[in-house]
RNA sequence: GCCAACGUAGCUCAAUCGGAAGAGCGGCUGAUUUGUAAUCAGCAGGUUGGGGGUUCAAGUCCCUUCGUUGGCUCCA
């Protein structure tokens, strides 16, 4: 019986049933077969050695293809698991899960009472090298669930048994696949390379603890992280990139540039912004405020501490108190606000609202406090006190779509000047949700429809919504590729209900509005951390804490330099003079290291002509120009919040 | 909170086997008056995160505690 293979170029080829991708590759050329990692068959990963059963679309995966790493990193994870088993004894090693991740792979392993440290990694790497050298063939086979459970029980792999049982429970799975290399067999969906000798370049990067299924009630396993590439140069480039990225880490750069400090003894998780960091924050807020007002928001300011009864009504008491700070006076309980919404609702309720007032959009740079466990604090990215650029849109049900779309557009507008990559996620009903499921469904669909209407790419994050409603989140990557949530758009029918807020409709009846909670920076602290890493401290001029450093060459130029600074400050620029008794070169070098956008060097020539000699931090020396001209151009650059120097 | 690693001057890092706590940068003082990435000299700076223990002797070994880092969890 023949089958028909359709290649990417549209050509078709006939094969016997049971032909393997490797055979097909060999048919085309031997070189191709050597370079192939696997195949894609009808959009499914397919091992090179796995027989084809039916006619199909067929494509080989070569080293340049984006799918290639899935094959060799999966195999890498198995090789690592096998190495650990050899080193620590098959009886003692219980495997959990070992997936591929963005730049590598990991495996969660229960090693009984053995505690791995990073010093153990070279030993494991050496064993892995052996396995690679042995070039063990990797064989795929399927088993009915009952036999699979027996096999895994025999191999003393309780986590695998649990995984199989869950597959049956959740998906009604009847057959599961295994991969075998030498004496090592592992439950795995695949795909894999045809033999262990085909992987080449890898490095184990770290060990850490990880709970079985990510649940801290379960046992903590040991996770070994590794990275692997098909080319040596790629591995080296990746490792160098990580090294480079560490230098951009905002926790190093921020304090080094004098932006902020965190005193973990006295104020853990509560950053102290120094004057330069505060300048930046203020610029961000100024920018945000302008845009909000353009977009029809009105600004409010609500209390930091409010009575517990408010938080009971809002539902925070029941759903969020683990994250809240409390305080008591005159036998009354108060809570420090973890969110701004109840305050905004009180603002809404202060006077009757007509349908003509809707949508009502109010915003606040509200400082919120949330308790976070000590182990998760992370520079500016995860803190216990932060300022949200928080707003609530009160609208009718009919206006939901249009308003959500408005917010999506608004996010784009706010992120635009920064020019970074972000990703949207739709989060659905969590376990500890409030309210009725039907309303949740309506809200979730409304968000989904809005995303579709804006043709946005997004992924769905089941069960990750807020307790009062589903949400769209925006994630931005830090220098090391870790993602942090920034903007969030949340739909909420619950709080309007619980607070009994109303508007008067055209028919003079009372109706309940819907609330859209939304933040764009999310946390201004976190957003600033992202910016520090994004720009590696070389901020666009409008954000830079010091925009211009005026450097007099000798003492006799100091007065003129000061007058230049006065002129600049008069126009609202952040300028400083460096009048220390140091060499010109020294001052230039320091300004350069501080990534100050403009250095104005002034000596005899400039002083005589009312000029300044402009040097950019990109090391470009522009020569002397009139101070007036410099101010004129700088004004333009800053006014438009340009991402690049106008002089370049 | 849990698992692992790490805590030496403001910063970056030395200190051999357990045997006298050091350097560079930065800071201060003085000299130098400099034209596009570091002028020279001198000085100050430490309970080696805290507490306890072993030892003739502890930065170094052990215990404990606090903190940081990498993860897990939660989330902006």
What pLDDT digit, counting tens, does each position of A115-166 carry?
A: 787 778 888 888 999 999 999 999 899 889 889 999 988 888 989 998 898 8
Residue A301 has pLDDT above 90, yes or no: yes
* Residue A113 approaches strand B within 7 Å at CB: no
* Residue A603 approaches strand B within 7 Å at CB: yes
* Domains of chain A with bracketed CATH: 2-62 (3.10.20.30), 68-245 (3.30.980.10), 256-304+340-535 (3.30.930.10), 548-639 (3.40.50.800)
First to last CA, chain A: 68
How large is the ipTM? 0.86
From the CA of A93 to the C1' of B1: give the distance in Å: 26
The encoded tokens of residue A77 equal 């994870």
Close Cβ partners of A519 (under 8 Å, ≥ 6 residues apart): A388, A389, A390, A391, A487, A488
- Mean pLDDT, chain A, whole residue set: 89
* Degrees, nearest 5: CA angle A538-A540-A543: 100
The per-residue pLDDT for A1 is 66
The per-residue pLDDT for A392 is 96
Which of A47, A108, A186, A390 does the annotation list as catalytic? A390
**pLDDT tier, A48 (very low <50, low <70, confident <90, very high otherwise):** confident
From the CA of A583 to the C1' of B31: give the distance in Å: 14
Which of A56, A78, A108, A341 does the annotation list as catalytic? A341
What is the CB-side half-sphere exposure of residue A127 using CA atoms within 13 A? 16
From the CA of A541 to the C1' of B38: give the distance in Å: 26
What pLDDT digit, counting tens, does each position of A156-205 carry?
A: 898 999 889 888 888 888 889 999 998 899 998 879 888 888 877 888 88
The per-residue pLDDT for A546 is 95
Strand partners, A461: A427
Angle, helix A558-570 to helix A627-639, in steps of 10 degrees: 40
Strand A201-211 and strand A184-187: the pairing is unpaired
What pLDDT digit, counting tens, does each position of A584-631 carry?
A: 999 999 999 999 999 999 999 999 999 999 999 988 899 999 999 999
Residue A271 has pLDDT above 70, yes or no: yes
The per-residue pLDDT for A5 is 83
Q: How far apart are CA A44 and CA A54, in angstroms?
A: 13
* Residue A263 approaches strand B within 7 Å at CB: no
A388 given a catalytic annotation: yes
What pLDDT digit, counting tens, does each position of A447-471 carry?
A: 999 999 988 888 888 888 888 889 9
Angle, helix A158-171 to helix A145-154, in steps of 10 degrees: 160
Percent of chain A having pLDDT more than 90? 46
What pLDDT digit, counting tens, does each position of A398-410 carry?
A: 999 999 999 999 9
* Residue A581 approaches strand B within 7 Å at CB: yes
Q: Helices H, strands E: what count in chain A?
A: 20, 33
């Amino acid at each position: 019986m023949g089958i028909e293979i359709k290649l990417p170029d549209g050509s078709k080829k006939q094969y016997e049933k049971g032909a393997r991708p490797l055979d097909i590759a060999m048919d085309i050329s031997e070189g191709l077969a050597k370079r192939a990692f696997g195949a894609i068959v009808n959009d499914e990963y397919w091992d090179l050695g796995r027989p084809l059963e039916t006619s199909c679309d067929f494509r080989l995966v070569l080293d340049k293809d984006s799918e290639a790493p899935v094959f060799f990193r999966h195999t890498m994870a198995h090789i690592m698991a096998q190495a650990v088993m050899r080193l620590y004894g098959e009886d003692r090693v219980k495997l959990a899960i070992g997936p591929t991740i963005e730049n590598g792979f990991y495996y969660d392993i229960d090693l009984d009472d053995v505690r791995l440290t990073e010093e153990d990694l070279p030993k494991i790497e050496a064993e892995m090298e052996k396995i690679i050298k042995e070039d063990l063939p990797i064989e795929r086979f399927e088993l009915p669930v009952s036999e699979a459970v027996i096999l895994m029980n025999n191999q003393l792999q309780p986590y695998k048994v649990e995984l199989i049982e869950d597959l049956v429970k959740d998906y009604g799975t009847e057959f599961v696949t295994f991969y075998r290399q030498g004496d090592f067999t592992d439950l795995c969906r695949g795909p894999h390379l045809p033999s262990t000798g085909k992987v080449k370049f890898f490095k184990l990067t770290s060990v850490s603890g990880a709970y079985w299924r990510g649940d801290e009630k379960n046992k903590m396993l040991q996770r070994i992280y590794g990275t692997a590439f098909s080319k040596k140069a790629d591995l080296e480039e990746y490792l160098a990139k990580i090294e480079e990225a560490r230098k951009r880490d905002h926790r190093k750069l921020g304090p080094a540039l004098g932006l902020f400090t965190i005193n973990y003894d006295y104020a853990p998780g509560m950053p102290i912004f120094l004057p330069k960091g505060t300048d930046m924050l203020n610029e961000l807020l100024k920018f945000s405020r302008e845009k909000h007002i353009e977009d029809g928001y009105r600004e409010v300011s609500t209390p930091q501490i409010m009575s517990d009864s408010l938080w009971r009504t809002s539902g925070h008491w029941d759903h969020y108190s683990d994250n809240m700070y409390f305080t008591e006076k005159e036998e009354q309980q108060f809570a420090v606000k973890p969110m701004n919404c109840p305050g905004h609702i009180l603002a809404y309720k202060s006077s009757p609202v007509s349908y003509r007032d809707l949508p009502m959009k109010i915003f606040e740079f509200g400082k919120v406090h949330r308790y976070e466990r000590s182990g998760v604090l992370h520079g500016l990215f995860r803190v216990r006190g932060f300022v949200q650029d928080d707003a609530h849109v009160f609208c009718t049900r009919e206006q939901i779509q249009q308003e959500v779309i408005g917010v999506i557009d608004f996010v784009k507008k706010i992120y635009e000047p920064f020019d970074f990559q972000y990703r949207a996620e739709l989060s659905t009903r969590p376990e500890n949700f409030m309210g009725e499921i039907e309303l949740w469904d309506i809200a979730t669909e409304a968000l989904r429809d809005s995303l579709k209407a804006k043709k946005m790419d997004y992924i769905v994050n089941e069960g990750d919504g807020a307790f009062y409603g589903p949400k769209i989140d925006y994630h931005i990557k830090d220098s090391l590729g870790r993602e942090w949530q920034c903007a969030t758009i949340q739909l909420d029918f619950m709080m309007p209900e619980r607070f009994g807020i109303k508007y008067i409709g055209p028919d003079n009846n009372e109706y309940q509005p819907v609330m859209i909670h939304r933040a764009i920076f999310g946390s201004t602290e976190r957003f600033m951390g992202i910016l520090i890493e994004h720009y590696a401290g070389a901020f666009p001029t409008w954000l830079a804490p010091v925009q211009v450093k005026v450097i007099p060459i000798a003492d006799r130029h100091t007065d003129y330099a000061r007058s230049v600074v006065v002129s600049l400050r008069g126009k609202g620029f952040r300028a400083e003079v460096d009048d220390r008794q140091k060499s010109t070169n020294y001052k230039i070098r320091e300004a350069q290291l501080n990534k100050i956008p403009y250095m104005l060097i002034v000596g005899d020539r400039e002083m005589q002509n009312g000029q300044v000699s402009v040097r950019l931090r990109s090391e470009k020396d522009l020569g002397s120009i009139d101070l007036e001209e410099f101010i004129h151009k700088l004004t333009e650059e800053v006014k438009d919040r340009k991402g690049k120097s106008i002089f370049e």
